């Protein structure tokens, strides 16, 4: 095990998979000579060369569209989008091609494609560059949507995504890149796609989260422990497929749940998870399921207002106390 940042874990996963399989290549804006907007691919261009680390024009539709074609012909592309907000430009390719082609052609070819994109707010980039629209992409069958909350999961899930024969949207929260954690050194360390994971055990309340909110949930759980409340934190890790088994198992013990996401509350991940809890474990409900999410406004540029709109550790802490004490 080595302690490293999430940025380093993602970079290491990409490097190891490119060394392992010469069909893997990266393309995107500034991924080559510049080393990536967030320095994830720093040094890749010099080591792997321009054929496998390809700088592209500022054209997201072309980045994703050409990657789809490459995947259909036997390569394993990793297409990087500077931010998930720019994925809207490539929406037709992602939703109507990547997610559907394998199915619509009766499985005659595979589509081993990974689309990496940063998501989330908190960096004063304005409303059009700070969105967390993960639930939009998770709505569509055929597209795996992954969003890790720890460095270890980032490495293991990305390696699994690259080895998968199905298209994967791999969402990285930009404010997590400096988060540190223990990461296995094994070059074949994999985490399964589509499986939730208990990140902290507890018996009093279940906190469900993913991506950046996992770290907030773990901090909230520590605060709750000081009050004598033991919270279990379940990390979704994947939004499609959505693994409810660990959540339902936990909820049947705790009988109370809080769901935290950085995206907007309306029509979001929390709405889906809470609905499934009511459907699958209604007889175990001792308190209404609480949802913690971003305020229903375009995210402000002003630093203080931005943080006021984003969900915080304290919001999860208060929601958990409410469901415990009623």
Is there a single domain that holds both residue 161 and residue 309?
Answer: no
- 190 domain residue, yes or no: no
Is there a single domain that holds both residue 108 and residue 174?
Answer: yes
Is there a single domain that holds both residue 9 and residue 35?
Answer: yes
Q: Is there a contact between 53 and 26 (Cβ–Cβ < 8 Å)?
A: yes
Is there a single domain that holds both residue 177 and residue 309?
Answer: no
With the CA atoms of 219, 175, 264 and 94 taken in that order, what torsion angle do they form, in degrees rounded to the nearest 10? -130
Which of the residues 60, 172, 191, 232 is marked catalytic? 60
CA distances from 181 to 5, 148, 185 (A): 6, 13, 12
pLDDT of residue 190: 98
Which of the residues 129, 172, 232, 261 is marked catalytic? 129
* Domain C-terminal end among 183, 207, 240: 183
Is there a single domain that holds both residue 58 and residue 159?
Answer: yes
Instruction: Tell me the pLDDT tens digit for each residue of 53-77.
Output: 999 999 999 999 999 999 999 999 9
- 12 domain residue, yes or no: yes
DSSP sequence for 56-93: --S-HHHHHHHHHHHHHTT-EEEEEES-GGGGGGGHII
- 100 domain residue, yes or no: yes
Other beta carbons less than 10 A from residue 88's beta carbon = 13
Is there a single domain that holds both residue 165 and residue 246?
Answer: no
CATH no. for residue 126?
A: 3.40.50.970
Alpha helical stretches, state H, the chain: 6-20, 44-48, 60-72, 91, 101-104, 134-138, 151-163, 212-226, 245-254, 269-281, 303-309, 313-325
- Give the residue carrying structure tokens 């997610």: 99
Q: Which range of residues forms the domain containing residue 210?
A: 197-325
- 123 domain residue, yes or no: yes
Instruction: Tell me the pLDDT tens digit for each residue of 182-218.
Output: 999 999 999 999 999 999 999 999 999 999 999 999 9
* Domain C-terminal end among 183, 208, 229: 183
46 is catalytic: no
129 is catalytic: yes
Is there a single domain that holds both residue 266 and residue 241?
Answer: yes
Total domains present in the chain: 2
CATH no. for residue 278?
A: 3.40.50.920
Is there a single domain that holds both residue 265 and residue 242?
Answer: yes
Is there a single domain that holds both residue 15 and residue 133?
Answer: yes
Is there a single domain that holds both residue 283 and residue 318?
Answer: yes
Strand partners, 280: none
- 24 domain residue, yes or no: yes
Q: Residue 124's Cα: distance from chain center in Å? A: 21
pLDDT of residue 326: 78
- 282 domain residue, yes or no: yes
- 188 domain residue, yes or no: no
* Domain C-terminal end among 136, 152, 183: 183
Is there a single domain that holds both residue 177 and residue 214?
Answer: no
Give the pLDDT of the chain (326 residues) as one tens digit per residue: 999 999 999 999 999 999 999 999 999 999 999 999 899 999 999 999 999 999 999 999 999 999 999 999 999 999 999 999 999 999 999 999 999 999 999 999 899 999 999 999 999 999 999 999 999 999 999 999 999 999 999 999 999 999 999 999 999 999 999 999 999 999 999 999 999 999 999 999 999 999 999 999 999 999 999 999 999 999 999 999 999 999 999 999 999 999 999 999 999 999 999 999 999 999 999 999 999 999 999 999 999 999 999 999 999 999 999 999 97
Give the span between the Cα atoms of 138 and 290, in whole angstroms: 21
């Amino acid at each position: 095990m080595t302690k490293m940042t999430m940025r380093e874990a993602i970079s290491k996963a990409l490097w190891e998979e490119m060394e392992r399989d010469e069909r893997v290549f990266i393309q995107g804006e500034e991924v080559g000579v510049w080393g990536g907007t967030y320095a994830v691919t720093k040094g890749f261009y010099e080591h792997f060369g321009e054929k496998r680390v390809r700088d592209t024009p500022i054209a997201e539709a072309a980045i994703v569209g050409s990657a789809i074609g490459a995947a259909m012909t036997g390569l394993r592309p990793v297409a990087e989008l500077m931010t998930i907000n720019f994925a809207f430009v490539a929406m037709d390719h992602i939703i109507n091609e990547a997610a559907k082609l394998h199915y619509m052609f009766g499985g005659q070819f595979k589509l081993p494609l990974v689309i990496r994109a940063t998501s989330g707010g908190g960096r004063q980039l304005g409303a059009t560059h700070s969105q967390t629209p993960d639930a939009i992409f998770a709505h569509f069958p055929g597209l795996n949507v992954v969003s890790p909350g720890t460095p270890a999961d980032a490495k293991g899930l990305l390696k699994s995504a690259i080895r998968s024969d199905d298209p994967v949207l791999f969402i990285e929260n930009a404010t997590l890149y400096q988060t540190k954690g223990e990461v296995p050194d094994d070059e074949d360390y994999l985490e399964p796609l589509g499986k939730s994971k208990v990140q902290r055990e507890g018996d009093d309340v279940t906190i469900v989260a993913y991506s950046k909110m996992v770290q907030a949930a773990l901090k909230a759980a520590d605060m709750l422990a000081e009050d004598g409340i033991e919270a279990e934190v379940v990390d979704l890790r994947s939004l499609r497929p959505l693994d409810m088994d660990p959540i339902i198992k936990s909820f049947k013990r705790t009988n109370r749940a809080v769901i935290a996401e950085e995206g907007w509350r309306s029509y979001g991940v929390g709405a889906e998870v809470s609905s499934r809890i009511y459907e699958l474990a209604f007889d175990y409900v001792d308190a209404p399921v609480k949802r913690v999410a971003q305020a229903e406004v375009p995210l402000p540029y002003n630093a203080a207002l931005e943080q006021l709109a984003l969900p915080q550790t304290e919001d999860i802490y208060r929601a958990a106390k409410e469901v415990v004490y009623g």
